Amino acid sequence: DQQVKQNSPSLSVQEGRISILNCDYTNSMFDYFLWYKKYPAEGPTFLISISSIKDKNEDGRFTVFLNKSAKHLSLHIVPSQPGDSAVYFCAASGTETSGSRLTFGEGTQLTVNP
């Protein structure tokens, strides 16, 4: 039962353009969402998060949008840079009582071409 899904295994964009990574979830108990970036043979790096009480959170070039009714979130990277090339995972968490377990999507490999 894949509760968090990233349907696009890969995405390729040109440097300077916008990268949009999508994520869907099925569990309505999820109320906190996170995006992580991962290089090969390294641990994931936290990028940005959003609480279910918001629909948008922005941090520099990274913006996360949340559509609760559609159970969908997206990560926008503008402008994209070659150094952004990595695997991006979205993750979701339930309430505090769940122990803050994160459920991860399958990841999307982003390639930013110079």
Contact residues toward other proteins (CB under 8 A) are 32, 34, 36, 41-46, 49, 51, 89, 93, 99-107
Please state the closest distance from residue 17 (CB atom) to other proteins, in A.
Answer: 25
Report the residue number, 25 or 36, with the smaller CB distance to other proteins.
Answer: 36
Residue with token string 């992580």: 36
Please state the closest distance from residue 2 (CB atom) to other proteins, in A.
Answer: 9
Task: Please tell me the distance from the alpha carbon of residue 38 to that of residue 36, in angstroms, as a whole number.
Answer: 7
Task: Please tell me the distance from the alpha carbon of residue 87 to that of residue 36, in angstroms, as a whole number.
Answer: 8
Report the residue number, 10 or 14, with the smaller CB distance to other proteins.
Answer: 10
Task: Please tell me the distance from the alpha carbon of residue 81 to that of residue 58, in angstroms, as a whole number.
Answer: 17
